[in-house]
Amino acid sequence: MIKSQIPPFATTLNVAGHVADKTKVTGALETDEIKQTDTASDEKSELDESLDEAASNEEENDELEEEARVEVAAQANRD
């Protein structure tokens, strides 16, 4: 009988190697996605802080303007 020169299918198909390679890529992609999410969260937090600060500054300016109007009105009443 003639021996086959073709290796068995199971030995040519390196399933473990293919799975390991895909896991490495998937792991890297997941890590990149986490980094992007963290960056987006940081940017959102900074934006929220900036908006809070702007609102606080606007409120403070409104209070100062109101105090100035009251002082002007009080001065007008004294004269």
Nearest CA among 62, 65, 58, 59 for reference residue 73: 65
Reported as a single tens digit per residue, the pLDDT across 4-17 is 566 555 555 555 55
- What mean pLDDT do residues 19-46 have? 72
Give residue-wise pLDDT tens across range 34-64.
Answer: 777 778 788 888 899 999 999 999 999 999 9
**31 or 16, higher pLDDT:** 31
Distance of alpha carbon 1 from alpha carbon 21, whole angstroms: 40
Residue 6 DSSP symbol: S
- The mean per-residue pLDDT over the stretch 24-34 comes to 69
DSSP 61: H
Greater model confidence, 71 or 22: 71
Q: How much is the pLDDT for 68?
A: 95
